Chain A
Amino acid sequence: MRVIDKEGEKLDLLSVNIGPSHPATHGSLRAICAIDGEKIVAASCEIGYLHRGFEKMVERGTYQQVMPYTDRLNYCSAMLNNIGFCKAVEGMFGIELTERATVIRVIISEMSRFIDHIICVAAALADLGAQTAYFYLFVPREEGMNIWEKLTGARLTNSYARIGGLYRDLYEGFEEDTLRLMTLTEKGLSDVLGLVDRNKIFLDRTQGVAAISQKDAISYGWTGPCLRATGVDRDMRKDEPYYGYETYDFDTVVGSTGDTYDRLMVRIYEVRESISIIRQALKRLKPGPVNVEDPRVSLPQHINAYQDMEALINRFKLVYEGVHVPKGEHYDGIEAANGELGFFIVSDGTGNPWRIKVRPPCLTQFAAFAHLVEGAMIPDAIACLSSINIIAGELDR
Chain B
Amino acid sequence: MSKFDYTKALVPSTPESREANLTKVFDLLASRLRIVIDPQEHCAKSAIVDRSLLHTAVTILRDTPELGFDLLLDIVGIDYLNYLDHQGPRFAVVYLFKSLKVSGQRFQLKVLVDEEDLVVPTISDLYSIADWAEREVYDQFGVRFEGHPNLKRLLNHFEFVGHPLRKDYPATKRQWLSTNDPMLDQLEARLKHNGFELLDPVPVNTPAVEDVIKGSRQ
Residues of A bordering B, CB below 8 Å: 1-6, 10-11, 13, 15, 30, 32-34, 41-44, 46-48, 51, 53, 55-57, 59-60, 214-216, 218-221, 223, 231-234, 238-241, 246, 252, 254, 327-331, 333, 340, 342, 344, 346-349, 354-355, 357, 359, 363-364, 367-368, 370-371, 374, 396-397
Number of residues from B at the complex interface, CB < 8 A = 68
Complex partner residue of B73 from A4, A57, A340, CB under 8 angstroms: A340
Task: Give the docked Cα–Cα distance between A397 and B164 (Å).
Answer: 13
Task: Give the docked Cα–Cα distance between A301 and B195 (Å).
Answer: 67
The smallest C-beta distance from B196 to any residue of chain A, in angstroms, reads 4
B165 touches A5 (CB 8 A): no
B50 at the interface (CB under 8 A from A): no
B183 touches A46 (CB 8 A): yes
Residues of chain B with a CB closer than 8 A to A6's CB: 195-196
Complex partner residue of B46 from A15, A329, A364, A370, CB under 8 angstroms: A329
A42 touches B200 (CB 8 A): no
Residues of chain A with a CB closer than 8 A to B132's CB: 363, 367
Task: Give the docked Cα–Cα distance between A220 and B43 (Å).
Answer: 27
Residues of chain A with a CB closer than 8 A to B108's CB: 331
B62-77 near A? 1/0 per residue, CB < 8 Å? 0000000011111011
Residues of chain B with a CB closer than 8 A to A41's CB: 191, 194, 196
B199 touches A342 (CB 8 A): no
Chain B residue nearest to A2 (CB atoms) is B199
Task: Give the docked Cα–Cα distance between A397 and B187 (Å).
Answer: 25
Residues of chain A with a CB closer than 8 A to B199's CB: 2-4, 10
B96 at the interface (CB under 8 A from A): yes
16 A-B interface contacts by CB (under 8 A): A3-B191, A4-B196, A5-B197, A41-B196, A42-B191, A44-B190, A53-B164, A221-B73, A221-B127, A239-B10, A246-B12, A327-B42, A329-B45, A347-B42, A357-B76, A364-B129
Given A55-B140, A215-B1, A218-B71, A34 contacting B155 (CB threshold 8 A): no
Complex partner residue of B42 from A216, A231, A348, A396, CB under 8 angstroms: A348
The smallest C-beta distance from A197 to any residue of chain B, in angstroms, reads 24
Residues of B bordering A, CB below 8 Å: 1-2, 6-10, 12-13, 18, 41-46, 70-74, 76-79, 83-84, 94, 96, 98, 100, 103-104, 106, 108, 127-129, 131-132, 140, 153-157, 164-165, 169, 171, 181, 183-184, 186-191, 193-200, 202
A42 touches B155 (CB 8 A): no
Q: Which of A59, A215, A234, A252 has the most chain B CB within a 10 Å cutoff?
A: A234
A221 touches B6 (CB 8 A): no
B129 touches A219 (CB 8 A): yes
B198 touches A42 (CB 8 A): no
Chain A residue nearest to B201 (CB atoms) is A1
A214 touches B2 (CB 8 A): yes
B154 touches A221 (CB 8 A): no
Residues of chain B with a CB closer than 8 A to A371's CB: 128
Complex partner residue of A2 from B103, B128, B200, CB under 8 angstroms: B200
Q: Which of A47, A232, A329, A340 has the most chain B CB within a 10 Å cutoff?
A: A329
A328 touches B45 (CB 8 A): yes
A46 touches B6 (CB 8 A): no
Residues of chain A with a CB closer than 8 A to B2's CB: 214-215
Complex partner residue of A48 from B71, B127, B157, B189, CB under 8 angstroms: B157
Given A219-B129, A239-B104, A359-B74, A32 contacting B6 (CB threshold 8 A): no
Task: Give the docked Cα–Cα distance between A239 and B105 (Å).
Answer: 10
Given contacts A41-B194, A331-B45, 8 further A-B contacts (CB under 8 A): A32-B187, A218-B71, A232-B7, A252-B9, A327-B84, A329-B45, A342-B73, A359-B74
B73 touches A232 (CB 8 A): no
Residues of chain B with a CB closer than 8 A to A238's CB: 9-10, 12
